Amino acid sequence: MCGLCGLLGEDLHWSDPLGDKLPRRRERLRRIAAINQVLSAFRLKVEDFQGASYLLLGATGKQALASGLDQLWQAAENMLGRPLDPLDSHLLDHLESAV
């Protein structure tokens, strides 16, 4: 994606909130923080990329771009080389210990 597309803003995604309680940029950063809580159990991290995509970072230096949560989850599975179960007991324990 070119820099101009990132500056124009991202398209709405089905997972975006319907309310306007927070500005879109702040809501995006809040969402990234929640995603990072989940992915930290797998030693992965997500950063914002030009306000339009997600940059997935692996523990070994691998990187991948994703435009939505569905692509992000697929990229995480590809990076780890295995399917990720959101109901995995290890993940749920990790999330509960963070609270």
pLDDT tens digits, 23-77: 778 888 999 999 999 999 999 999 999 888 999 999 999 999 999 999 999 999 9
pLDDT for the residue 44: 97
Q: What's the whole-model pTM score? A: 0.75
**For range 90-97, the mean pLDDT:** 91
- Find the range with the poorest average confidence among 6-10, 15-19, 63-67, 72-76: 6-10
b/e map of 63-83 (b: 16 or more CB within 10 Å)?
Answer: ebebebeeebbebbeebbeee
- Residue 82 DSSP one-character state: S
Alpha-carbon distance 91 to 42, whole Å? 8
Alpha-carbon distance 13 to 90, whole Å? 29
